Amino acid sequence: MNLYIEIENGQPKNHPALENNLLQVFGLIPEHWHPFTRVERPHLLPYQIFNSEESTYQKINDTWTDVWNIRDMTNEEKLAKQQRIKDSWILATNDMHESWIFNEETCRYEPL
């Protein structure tokens, strides 16, 4: 499944289209349509967040592609996330979690 994106004044216009659709409409791939590589939304590490829920379209190595902007959490955000996990764990387990320990690296409870 080959994708192309319409480029106008050096910038992507709209969203990528399937090669077969372009061929059906135009009979060929118009010059102003450029190859596009779809990049799926990545899985985040425990202390990362997306700067935006949507990817941007950028040209990398002569091909347009999805770019996902990810950043590391600040120390305050990390602590807040850890506290939310700990609070929800206590509510869900009714304080019966002596055989589990919180792993700060993974931000999860793990069995002892």
Domain ranges of the chain: 3-72, 75-111
Share of the chain above pLDDT 90, in %: 79
Residue recorded with tokens 């990390």:
78
pLDDT at residue number 94: 65
pLDDT band of residue 111 (cuts 50, 70, 90) is: confident
pLDDT at residue number 96: 60
pLDDT at residue number 2: 96
pLDDT tens-place string over residues 72-100: 999 999 999 999 998 888 766 665 667 88
pTM: 0.78
